[in-house]
Chain A
Amino acid sequence: MHPAFSVIFLTTLIGAGQGLFLALYTGQLYSVFNLVPGQDSHTFYGYGSLLALIFLAMGLLASFFHLGHPERAWRSAAMWRTSWLSREVIVLPSFMGMTFLYGLTHYLGFNPVLFTISDVFVVNLTLLLGFLATGLAFLLFLCTAMIYACVKFLQEWATPLTVLNYTLLGAASGFTLATVFASYAGIQLVSFYAGWAIILTSLAFISRIASLIRNSLIKPKSTMTSAIGIRHTKIQQKSRGFMAGSFNTREYFHNASAVLFRSIKWIFPILVFVLPIMILSSSTGTSSFALFALAFIIQYTGLLAERWFFFAQANHPQNLYYQTI
């Protein structure tokens, strides 16, 4: 498939935004159980949520560049019963709204106790809002990934690994971002987030490599024989019917050279996984903002390459009909 930059930015930006929110809420949950020191609602959770919202909004903005008629985008919420894209269109703003409420209540310090569970566990407003937003964050990962995973004849995508990868990669970049944010805000959670970022990045590494291995073993279900229905082992296209370009020759081919394609396959795991893990683990204990920021920038750049590769690698069966001029 042809990797569209709008979609590459959309999926990576909202992934980092979702991950950052999950990181904030994980921090809050840990502090509820007194495992980590509690943070200032106003500066940490308030501004942290704002940062997550900025990433989500940039992703949303990028998505509009993908549409031929952005002014009709509201229509795309209509078919949520059948379309994962439609579901994403609903869940993304809901998640943003919930994150906004979560951040706002933290920022204003408006946090009444709602109820207690078995007289020990105190549920206050931000905890509940965060819980709901967490659900939406995971739902959003599911929707985004299922847009690709549900197209069964794009065999490189049609696997549960796609969902796992989107979730883990988003979470990993979000926790790296949280590390940067924590070191900037000058709080004690830096090594807590760095630790989680290392764990999540390693998990994402395993699942992404698993999907690379799986994809290298794929045997295409559609063949020349099934495409034109002629039973013969030697079928050669002599003409695709036109010499000019068309939507079919642009949308489904990545058009990158084999060398570039193969090098990106090797470069993105280094950028997304190896380098960030090295930087994060070597700088735990310190709280060097610059180093963590570098780790995030490298990882995010790597994710752009990863997403490019994700699209480029998918081989659409329609390409069987467009093999020669």
Chain B
Amino acid sequence: MKQLALVIDLNVCVGCHACVTSCKEWNTSGTAGSMSDFNPYEEDPTGTFFNRVQTFEIGEYPNTETVHFPKSCLHCEEPPCVPVCPTGASYKRKEDGIVLVDYDKCIGCKYCSWACPYGARELDEEQKVMKKCTLCVDRIYDETLPEAERKPACVLACPTSARLFGDVKDPDSPVSETIRENGGYQLMPEWGTKPANHYLPRRKIKMTIHKDELTRVDNPLNKERQLPMPGDDEQTLDDIMSW
């Protein structure tokens, strides 16, 4: 079984919204489009988006950390939005686990959006059908594109590579590996939706090195001895060369 998904590294995301704009750009001109906007330059603008980047502050001033948090459909393995759909317009693909909406069948009843705990679905107010992230299904299989570009638009746009794309059911895929090794987790696990998208937590990137870790005190075979040992105030080759 295959389950395509995104893995989003919160340790790396800088909150630049490049994924938001590239998603909108690709999908408004793709098969999911157009993603309508209303009053874009006036008072009270509104529009359809598949992906948003939000910002949270953790802790209490001055000891805070800022976390940028991209959010889109998580392509749940047990998607509660699918069984509630009365028309069958919402479905989960067997072959790759992508959750999609058939825009020709959708009656715009909004029931599926109520049944998504993450608020990942948006009704397109112009076409009056439900829309959501498609994992760029219209480009990841497009053989006219070079292989390196057969990825969701957001993944390609991310300047910090905070977004990884792959099959989370294949234990040897890079996404599965990073989920395993970097503490990848799912959102709102309490509802049993089993989101396919995972997030990687913040990690400490500071390292403390003590002096005795640089020179070994016990050097039984005298292997690391330099003769003659330079004094602490003397120049070494490193000081000259490290430009």
Contact = CB atoms under 8 A, between A and B. Distances in A.
B187 A228 contact: yes
A70 B106 CA distance: 10
A94 to B, nearest CB: 15
A312 interface: no
A89 B107 CA distance: 13
A69 B84 contact: no
**Interface residues of A toward B: which range?**
35 or more
Contacts of A238: 55-57, 66
A68 B189 contact: no
A240 B119 CA distance: 12
A235 B129 contact: no
Interface string A286-297: 000000000000
B190 A226 contact: yes
Contact of B108 (A68, A85, A89): A68
B123 interface: yes
B190 A237 contact: no
B84 A227 contact: no
Contact of A69 (B108, B118, B199): B108
Interface string B179-213: 00000011111110000000101100000000000
B86 A86 contact: yes
B105 A72 contact: yes
Given A1-B114, A79-B85, A229-B199, A234 B60 contact: yes
Contacts of B119: 248, 252, 316, 318-319, 321-322
A317 B64 CA distance: 25
Nearest to A228: B69
B187 A78 contact: no
Given A69-B107, A85-B109, A222-B188, A241 B201 contact: no
Tell me whether chain B's interface is mostly helix, strand or loop, or mixed: loop
Given A153-B191, A239-B54, A247-B48, A67 B86 contact: no
Interface string A214-239: 00000001101011111010111111
Contact of B129 (A69, A228, A246): A69
B191 A245 contact: no
B84 to A, nearest CB: 5
Contacts of A319: 119
Nearest to B127: A68
Contact of A321 (B54, B121, B129): B54
A147 interface: yes
28 contacts: A66-B110, A68-B107, A68-B108, A69-B108, A72-B106, A72-B107, A76-B86, A76-B87, A79-B83, A83-B83, A83-B86, A85-B111, A86-B86, A151-B114, A153-B191, A154-B114, A229-B187, A230-B58, A236-B58, A237-B55, A237-B56, A241-B55, A245-B46, A246-B46, A246-B49, A246-B122, A316-B114, A317-B117
Interface of A: 1, 66-70, 72-73, 75-79, 82-86, 89, 147, 150-154, 221-222, 224, 226-230, 232, 234-242, 244-248, 251-252, 316-319, 321-322
